[in-house]
């Protein structure tokens, strides 16, 4: 009996009420991204889950970024407030190493057996809940014929109109990894040498390496015309802007960004939390969220509407450049240094 | 530790009611400072010696790696130089723009003065983020300035944003109200009668300004410059929004290392470096104040 339930029972006894029946309202706290993700995830996954489980209420704890989430978890390590956390796989690795999460596998949750093989990681506690991928985004008024390849970023005609979230952002890192592979580069062990080189003709065109609040708004407004972003948000922004922005998987390739769902060690409501995670990974929830926000599903059994699946990376898996983010983390500082010394100055 | 300091007699004579009362009266603010400032700073100092894995995980070891990196990697020295240089330029520009405004305000009276004061303070009612976005609208390639330049026949838009120019313009404007208020506070010794005396003794207006007004207003200039410099060194939102990823400063690097790279120990180390810069600035201010006071 934990302190809280003891206090509750004490109050109940003191007032002479009958003890609360088993299966009283439980609250699961889900920590995940704020903004667009929160709106869409609440509608597509959380509300249907609450409907199916009347005894469980879900509280959404929005955070700006995975790093902000890990900050919260570190601060609450002694008395966790969150039950479930959705965050980027590279940050989830740090959380795993710090013992913040419980290891999930198909013995704990049978649904995990239905996930794609690349949704499970031996040294990360959680499992993948969404796959996103890098896309080239462009303003449809500025490009009557859609650009097809990353070489468009280097076209002198687009000088001052290119927006790229640069290193240390993982969009910049992904771009370098893709270019490196395209040019037969050494990959992560060679610190993406060829990728850094390939940025030389692109850098002079770049308007900003830090588009704020995100890369999509300036492209929609026409302040910039072409850039790099994440597919899911690009697709939603394409719809909400009435098609002013469109996304394309470049010929050179794309790369995955993976969000994992984690069970917090010492979570206040572990059983209800497991129920929620199982639902989040179920074909039903995966289908609903893919059709709402165009993240590729991680459950192989999810039957997605054809129109939605065409707007994810599922049909372009041959173009996905595999990036081992855990290996990248080890050379990140050296790559960042090359970036600052050899790429940024060319854009000044 | 503090009790001994607090109970020392202050000024020329011990306060009535003795040192106990002084200590008692100072206790609340001392406690508040200990909890709200000293403890977090100590926490940062401890954090800077924690070991961190490549993934960002901190599993409990200790290491001086981050301090070694900051001391030996030329990039961090560049950061320090950039931050100090940029902040000094911003401080100087802010001073040049604010001084005449503050002087005029100091000499105006009545309703007019109140109205002007409200005008000067009103930008502070808006968050720096909103004002920065305002500058983005003004400085962008299709913005106000470039539209005007285009009307005068400029072919290429001037790059006024997403670089050091933008950061300097934005921060200068954002810090002007602080500078004006600090200058006003330091103009206490400026007396119109002294200027009249200088004029009656035959000094032309410029000489009056240079030989009388400026020296008397120096304490205000020192205070305003210190405040502006410290605010400029520590601001990161404006450089983040207007720097376009081309401007590397200590404050933006602290943000990147903690929020993007999850390297908390390095962020903590750089934060301590920023604190040292503050300390040096305040020490210099003290010396300058002694020499002009």
* Predicted confidence (pLDDT) at residue A18 exceeds the cutoff of 50: no
User: B246 and A347 in contact by Cβ < 8 A?
Assistant: yes
How would residue A74 be classed by pLDDT, with cut points 50, 70 and 90?
A: very high
pLDDT cut 90: percent of chain B above it: 59
User: A91 and B56 in contact by Cβ < 8 A?
Assistant: yes
- Model pLDDT, residue B293: 60
Q: Give the phi and the psi of residue A245 in degrees, each rounded to 5.
A: -120, 140
Condensed to tens digits (0 to 9), the pLDDT of residues A106-117 reads: 999 999 999 999
Condensed to tens digits (0 to 9), the pLDDT of residues B129-141 reads: 899 989 988 998 8
| Greater model confidence, B211 or B10 | B211
pLDDT cut 90: percent of chain A above it: 87
Q: Which of B52, B55, B136, B238 to mutate to test the interface with A (most CBs of A within 10 A)?
A: B55
Q: Which of A10-19, A64-73, A186-195, A326-335 is predicted with the least confidence, judged by mean pLDDT?
A: A10-19
| Averaged pLDDT score across all residues of chain A | 91
Shortest CB distance from A98 goes to which of B58, B142, B258? B58
* Predicted confidence (pLDDT) at residue B2 exceeds the cutoff of 80: no
* Predicted confidence (pLDDT) at residue B13 exceeds the cutoff of 60: no
Q: Under a CB-based contact definition with an 8 Å cutoff, are residues B232 and B175 in contact? A: yes
The Cα A89–Cα A131 span in angstroms is: 10
* Predicted confidence (pLDDT) at residue A162 exceeds the cutoff of 50: yes
- Model pLDDT, residue A15: 46
| Greater model confidence, A179 or B218 | A179
Q: Which of B72, B246, B247 to mutate to test the interface with A (most CBs of A within 10 A)?
A: B246
- Model pLDDT, residue B84: 96
Q: Which residues of chain A lie closer than 8 angstroms to B243, CB-CB?
A: 210
* Predicted confidence (pLDDT) at residue B261 exceeds the cutoff of 60: yes
Shortest CB distance from B243 goes to which of A96, A98, A210? A210
How would residue A264 be classed by pLDDT, with cut points 50, 70 and 90?
A: very high
- Model pLDDT, residue B15: 55
For A:85-104, CB contacts with B below 8 A are: 90-91, 93-98
CB pairs under 8 A between A and B: 75
The Cα B61–Cα A64 span in angstroms is: 28
- Model pLDDT, residue A208: 94
Shortest CB distance from B262 goes to which of A67, A166, A212? A67
- Model pLDDT, residue A315: 87
Condensed to tens digits (0 to 9), the pLDDT of residues B277-286 reads: 999 999 999 9
Condensed to tens digits (0 to 9), the pLDDT of residues B15-69 reads: 567 888 999 999 999 999 999 999 999 999 999 999 998 888 998 899 999 999 9
Tell me the mean pLDDT in the region B62-78: 92
């Amino acid at each position: 009996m934990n302190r809280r339930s003891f206090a509750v029972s004490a109050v109940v006894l003191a007032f002479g009420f009958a003890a609360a029946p088993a299966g009283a309202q439980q609250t699961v706290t889900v920590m995940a991204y704020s903004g667009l993700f929160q709106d869409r995830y609440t509608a597509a996954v959380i509300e249907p889950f609450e409907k199916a489980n009347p005894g469980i209420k879900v509280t959404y704890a929005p955070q700006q970024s995975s790093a902000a989430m890990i900050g919260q978890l570190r601060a609450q390590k002694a008395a966790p407030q969150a039950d479930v956390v959705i965050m980027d796989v590279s940050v989830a690795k740090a959380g795993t190493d710090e013992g913040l999460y419980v290891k999930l596998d198909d013995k704990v949750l049978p649904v995990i057996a239905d996930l794609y093989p690349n949704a499970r990681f031996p040294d990360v506690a959680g499992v993948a809940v969404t796959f996103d991928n890098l896309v080239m985004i462009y303003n449809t008024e500025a490009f009557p014929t859609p650009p097809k390849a990353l070489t468009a970023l280097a076209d002198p005609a687009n000088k001052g109109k290119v927006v790229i979230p640069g290193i240390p952002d993982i969009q910049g890192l992904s771009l370098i990894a893709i270019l490196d592979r395209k040019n037969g580069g050494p990959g992560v062990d060679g610190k993406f040498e060829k990728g850094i080189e390939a940025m030389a003709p692109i850098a002079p065109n770049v308007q900003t390496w830090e588009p704020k609040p995100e890369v999509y708004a300036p492209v929609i407004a026409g302040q910039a015309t072409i850039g790099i972003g994440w597919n899911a948000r690009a697709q939603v922004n394409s719809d909400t802007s009435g098609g002013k922005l469109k996304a394309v998987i470049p010929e050179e390739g794309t790369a995955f960004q993976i969000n994992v769902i984690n069970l917090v060690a010492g979570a206040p409501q572990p059983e209800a939390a497991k129920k929620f995670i199982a639902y989040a990974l179920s074909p039903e929830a995966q289908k609903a969220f893919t059709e709402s926000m165009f993240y590729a599903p991680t459950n192989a059994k999810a039957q997605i509407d054809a129109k939605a699946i065409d707007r994810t990376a599922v049909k372009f898996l041959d173009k996905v450049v595999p990036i081992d983010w855990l290996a990248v983390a080890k050379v990140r500082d050296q790559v960042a240094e090359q970036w600052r010394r050899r790429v940024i100055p060319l854009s000044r | 530790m503090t009790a001994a300091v607090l109970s020392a007699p202050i000024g020329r004579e011990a306060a009535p009611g003795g040192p106990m009362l002084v200590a008692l009266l100072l206790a609340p603010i001392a406690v508040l400072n200990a909890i709200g400032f000293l403890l977090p700073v100590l926490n940062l100092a401890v954090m800077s010696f924690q070991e961190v894995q490549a993934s960002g995980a901190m599993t409990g070891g200790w290491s001086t790696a981050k301090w070694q990196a900051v001391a030996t990697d030329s990039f961090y020295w560049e950061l320090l130089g950039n931050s100090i240089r940029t902040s000094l330029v911003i401080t100087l520009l802010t001073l040049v723009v604010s001084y005449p405004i503050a002087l005029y305000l100091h000499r105006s009276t009545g309703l007019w003065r109140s109205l002007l004061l409200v005008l000067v303070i009103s930008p502070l009612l808006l968050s720096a983020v909103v004002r920065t976005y305002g500058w983005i609208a003004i400085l962008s390639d299709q913005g106000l300035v470039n539209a005007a330049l285009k009307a005068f026949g400029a072919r290429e838009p001037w790059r006024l944003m997403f670089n050091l120019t933008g950061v300097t313009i934005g921060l200068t404007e954002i810090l002007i109200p602080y500078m004006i208020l600090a200058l006003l506070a330091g103009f206490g010794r400026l007396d119109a009668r002294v200027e009249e005396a200088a004029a009656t003794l035959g000094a032309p207006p410029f000489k009056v300004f240079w030989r009388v007004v400026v020296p008397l207003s120096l304490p205000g200039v020192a205070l305003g410059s210190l405040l502006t410099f410290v605010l400029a060194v520590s601001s990161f939102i404006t450089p983040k929004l207007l720097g376009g990823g081309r401007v590397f400063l200590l404050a933006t690097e602290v943000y990147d290392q903690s929020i993007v790279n999850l390297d908390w120990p390095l962020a903590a180390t750089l934060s301590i470096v920023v604190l040292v810069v503050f300390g040096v600035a305040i020490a210099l201010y003290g010396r300058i104040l002694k020499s002009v006071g």
